[in-house]
Chain A
Amino acid sequence: MTAPDESPEQPASSAEAPELLPQLLGECVHCGFCLPTCPTYVLWGEEMDSPRGRIHLMQQHADGAPLNGAMVEHFDRCLGCMACVTSCPSGVQYDRLIEMTRAEVEQEHPRSPRERVIREAVFRTFPYPRRLRALRAPLRAYQWTGLDRLVRRTGLLERISPSLAAMERLAPPLGRAPRLPERVAARGGRRATVGMLTGCVQREFFPGVNAATARVLALEGCDVVIPKSQGCCGALSLHAGREDEARAFARRTVEAFEAVDVIVVNSAGCGSAMKEYRTLLGGDPAWARRAEALSAKTRDLAEFLVELGPRAERRPLPVSVAYHDACHLSHAQGIRSQPRALLAGIPELTVREVDGPELCCGSAGTYNVLQPEAASELGDLKAAGVRATGAEVLVAANPGCSMQIATALGRQGATIAVAHTAEVLDASLRGLGAAALTRRRAPGGSTDGSGPSGPRQRFVRP
């Protein structure tokens, strides 16, 4: 798709690729430390589906081997979770390598008609809140009439397209989606004025999270500015190698938030993409400085609240929560301690750790739609880990993770309440009590017969 105000002669960041790529590839010393944190290596135990193996494939291609179906298959299977970036002692920038590779795959590699249809459907829907909104009414009707359970029982969608079936399973139960005003005033003395990104999926499918975020910020003394002109931040496109599309979204986001000094983001994938604008638009003289400024003032909600320090009174929430590290928060932004500190700051709340916190849940942007099988195996592993904590509420800071893990729990016949960090804080600050969290119905709560996998035996595919 051609994005708005796209000027074709824009110098891309990939313009520096010819010299940059060999240098980035050369940093890998083949030590293998990345292997155990790579979700696909954990699943299949194959070198080609590990970061070290993928870098080897990139090197083969850089040395002259043509980009072929085998290579693309292994690049496509990468979740982009960046756990390998965290575990690499040599500082290999795998995140940049895979983004550059994906951009090349998008340009050079012809995809099958089936793949093209799915990809176009995803990238023409998800980044557009208005199009997502249009889906809400039929989806709600579909859920309310019970048609969803019927369709799942017949396995009809699975036969038509596993990707379509994955999309259907992942849709959260929908309630009303209230619109947020353009400005929410601080309670008590004003301590800061912040911009707030509402996101696409967050805004349409998890409106409660945005409302809670705005309330928490206001209760902590922030004037919250929610520009109407904002759209998709471009995270999905960027992480899928659709660079031009991502750049167009990025420019629009830069413009929308130029008036504020801090932008608070409650979705890990969006925050991580916005912090990357400096690289994405770095090669574009007209935008480099503005993009740099935007990246510098982007904060994840938890990161911002810890920097700001607590002022509002925390009321007790006697509840146990399992905190799930979203990859784009922990690996991409290095934010692990802040959300835990915020949760631990709530009286009577206990935080439980999920086994293998570095392992991706399989959501990974559009991955659970484009690679449904691998995603669902990873979801099962994560769900088993979450169940083992015995916690009453699962807390995650990314809408994709919440949908993914809740769906996997549903497959295992388990129910757990799901909440965003913002919603837990909101419940504490407003004194709603633990029931406000534990009563929440977990989405995707139907079983499809596939059993749970134990945490010890990680290898799934025989």
Chain B
Amino acid sequence: MSEGLARLAGRFGRLLGPDSVITDPVRLRTYECDGLTSHRASPGLVVLPDTAEQIAQIVRDCAAAGVPYVARGSGTGLSGGALPRTDGVLIVTSRMRRILEIDIPNRRAVVEPGVINLDVTRAVRADGYHFAPDPSSQQICSVGGNVAENSGGAHCLKYGFTAHHVLSCEVVTPDGEIVELAADGPGYDLLGVFVGAEGTLGIATKITVRLTRSPEAVRTLLAAFGSIEAGGGAVSAIIGAGVLPAAIEMMDALSIEAAEAAVRCEYPPGAGAVLIVELDGPESEVAHQFAEVERLCRDAGAFEIRVAADDAERALIWTGRKSAFAAMGRISPAYLVQDGVIPRTSLPRVLASIDALSAASGVRVANVFHAGDGNLHPLVLFDDAEPGAAERAEEVSGKILDLCIEHGGSITGEHGVGVDKSRYMPRMFTETDLDTMQMVRCGFDPAGLCNPGKVFPTPRLCGEVPGVRKGPHPYEGKADLF
């Protein structure tokens, strides 16, 4: 440990108590990655603060010492957004998990950043409300992480992303101030800038979330198709008919196989694709639209349609989908989760190209998508014990993103750029675009100490003229320059 970090460790020990500062190398290494294991870096120091004031002090101390820091919630991110710095401090919010206020009449709750997404819903379910963003990891991902990544989920087609469900945030800025960013004030929408900034503009310490009235009726069906193309046709037909389902999810044969092995979801055997369609809203509207969705699925070639009769059957249908990523462990020793977006109408063409890519490279690709909004999650399978396999998988994974961009889509739908996709940013944005974004970042974090190395391929110096580089960015220990 460097002298600077050792000094900080001492200070933090006095500030937080010895149980809240981790310096032992074996323990530190358990924090070396989040949900994305292909990038690893053992943090220089881990702190587990309990209050916003403590985080503000930690940030001020880091700023004074010129030491970079990274915030982490439950460590389930899939783009390495919480990848630690070996020369920095990892600020873990897992102990800040109090639900501070539940205000049903005003449909809002105030939570600490470490509160688990699903715990918000659990706390208000009896009152007939829920917290709408529902990433597949909702049983463990933290609300703070959701804010950083602007997390979506299966139901964001209808209900929107985290950004649509955050009313205000208390934030520790990179200069160690505690400020409140709210959505409803006049002036610039700084909350809009902050949500989804992947932890590069500050650390959320208190979040006021919107509570959504739980729908009167929910109906879910599972439709099995012979092929992905047929399933894609059904998706277009449903959206084209003016139906806005709460969710439309698709899984291909390989991901069905994995989910089956993991959770025995008993999807129809022999399906080349399954579609999960969920409608919610007022009873009569749902009943009418549900009949239409069933008809559209049959017209598109569904050979079996199962309708969930109750909550238990609905949960079983969803279990297969929600466990799909982690279930890949059943059919492959290792895998990469890709996250890209394409226009819905390009689905069949892009999938055919992914198939061709897979056949040409010999790398298996399973597909899971939020089909309603064209968000693909190709899962690139490989054996990490085989030399060169990871590199080949990485290459296929990158080419899938090229396909997304070619078709007018995006390199990420909901997992974020993090460290994993920063190198793909130039494929989507010009240098001027990237410089402009970085100027926003410089407005918050001129010293470049707050989650550095994420989102942007080449960090720029604040104060540089856009488009004119002055050489490598000296973002380590040079805060005093600015």
**Assembly CA distance A340 to B24 (angstroms):** 46
A60 at the interface (CB under 8 A from B): yes
Give bound CA distance, A29 to B384, whole Å: 12
Q: How far is the CA of A48 from the CA of B46 in the complex (A)?
A: 12
Which residues of chain A from 211 to 251 have a CB within 8 Å of any chain B CB? none
- Are B30 and A31 in contact (CB-based, < 8 A)? no
Question: Are B33 and A30 in contact, with the CB atoms below 8 A?
Answer: yes
Partner of B114, one of A45, A57, A68: A45
- For residue A26, CB closer than 8 A to chain B, the reply is yes
Q: Are A47 and B75 in touch, CB under 8 angstroms?
A: yes
Give A32 to B136 CA distance when docked, in angstroms.
12
Q: A45-B95, A46-B94 are in contact. Are A32 and B329 (CB under 8 A)?
A: no
Interface status of B323 (Cβ within 8 A of chain A): yes
Q: A-facing mask of B43-64, CB < 8 A → 1, else 0?
A: 0000010100000000000000
Query: Any chain A CB within 8 A of the CB of B10?
Result: no
Give the interface SS of chain B, mostly helix, strand, loop or mixed.
loop
Q: Mark A71-87, 1 if CB is under 8 A from B, else 0.
A: 10010000000000001
B27 is an interface residue with CB less than 8 A from chain A: yes
Q: Which residues of chain B come closer than 8 Å to A47, judged between CB atoms? A: 30-31, 75, 92, 94
Question: Which residues of A323-376 are within 8 A (CB) of B?
Answer: none
Q: Chain A residues with Cβ under 8 A from B326's Cβ?
A: 29, 31, 33, 88-90
A287 beta carbon closer than 8 Å to chain B: no
Inter-chain CB contacts under 8 Å: number = 101
- The answer to whether A91 touches B137 (Cβ under 8 A) is no
Using a CB-CB cutoff of 8 Å, which residues 59-76 of chain A contact chain B? 60, 65, 68, 70-71, 74
Contact of B97 with A by CB under 8 A: yes
- Selected contact of A65 from candidates B26, B34, B114, CB within 8 Å: B26
Give the size of the chain B interface in residues (CB under 8 angstroms).
45
Q: Which of A123-131, A427-435, A444-452, A453-461 participates in binding chain B?
A: A453-461
Residue A53 at the chain B interface, CB threshold 8 Å: yes
Known: A45-B97, A70-B26. A36 touches B140 (CB 8 A): yes
Selected from A31, A56, A459, the residue in CB contact (under 8 A) with B95 is A459
Q: A27 an interface residue at 8 Å Cβ cutoff?
A: yes
Kindly state the separation between the CA atoms of A461 and B18 in the bound complex, as whole angstroms. Answer: 12
Output the residue of A56, A89, A458 with the most chain B CB within 10 A. A89
Q: Assess A30 versus B26: contact at CB under 8 Å? Given A36-B116, A45-B48, A46-B48.
A: no
Residue with the highest number of chain B CB atoms closer than 10 Å, among A31, A56, A91: A31
Residue of B17, B27, B139 most packed against chain A (CB within 10 A): B27
Q: Are B329 and A56 in contact (CB under 8 A)?
A: no
A378 contacts partner chain B, Cβ-Cβ < 8 Å: no
Q: Could you say which of B22, B29, B97, B328 contacts A56, with CB atoms under 8 Å apart?
A: B29
Query: Closest residue to A34 on the B side, CB-wise?
Result: B140
- How near does chain B come to A60, taking the closest CB pair, in angstroms? 6
For residues 99 through 134 of chain B, which have their beta carbon under 8 Å from a beta carbon of chain A? 99, 114, 116, 123
Q: Determine the chain A residues whose CB is within 8 A of the CB of B451 once the complex forms.
A: none
- A457 cross-chain contacts in B, Cβ below 8 A: 97-98
Chain A interface residue bracket vs B: 35 or more
CB distance from B34 to the nearest CB of A (A): 8
Cβ distance B259 to chain A, nearest Cβ, rounded Å = 9
Q: Which of A254-290 contact B (CB under 8 A)?
A: none
- Tell whether, in the assembled complex, residue A89 and residue B263 are in contact, meaning their CB atoms are under 8 Å apart: yes
**Which residue of B has the minimal Cβ distance to A92?**
B329
- On whether the beta carbons of B97 and A89 are closer than 8 Å, the reply is no
Interface string of B66-85 (1 = CB under 8 A from A): 00000000111000000000
* Residue from B26, B99, B140 in contact with A68 in the complex, judged by beta carbons closer than 8 Å: B26
Please, which residue of chain A has its CB at the minimum distance from the CB of B259? A89
Q: Does A28 make an interface contact (CB < 8 A)?
A: yes
Query: Quick check: is A18 within 8 A (CB to CB) of the other chain?
Result: no
C-alpha spacing A45/B47, complex, angstroms: 11
Q: How far is the CA of A31 from the CA of B335 in the complex (A)?
A: 12
Q: Does A35 contact B (CB under 8 A)?
A: yes
**How far apart are the CA atoms of A143 and B327 in the complex, in Å?**
53
14 A-B contact pairs sorted by A residue (CB < 8 Å): A31-B326, A32-B141, A33-B326, A45-B114, A46-B48, A47-B31, A47-B92, A70-B27, A90-B326, A90-B327, A90-B328, A90-B329, A92-B329, A456-B98
11 further contact pairs, Cβ within 8 A, besides A90-B262, A91-B330, A457-B98 = A29-B335, A30-B34, A32-B75, A33-B139, A45-B48, A47-B92, A56-B32, A74-B27, A89-B323, A459-B97, A462-B50
Which A residues lie at the B interface, using CB under 8 A? 26-33, 35-36, 44-48, 53, 56-57, 60, 65, 68, 70-71, 74, 87-92, 456-459, 461-462
Nearest 5 A/B pairs, CB to CB: A90-B329, A45-B94, A89-B326, A89-B323, A53-B30
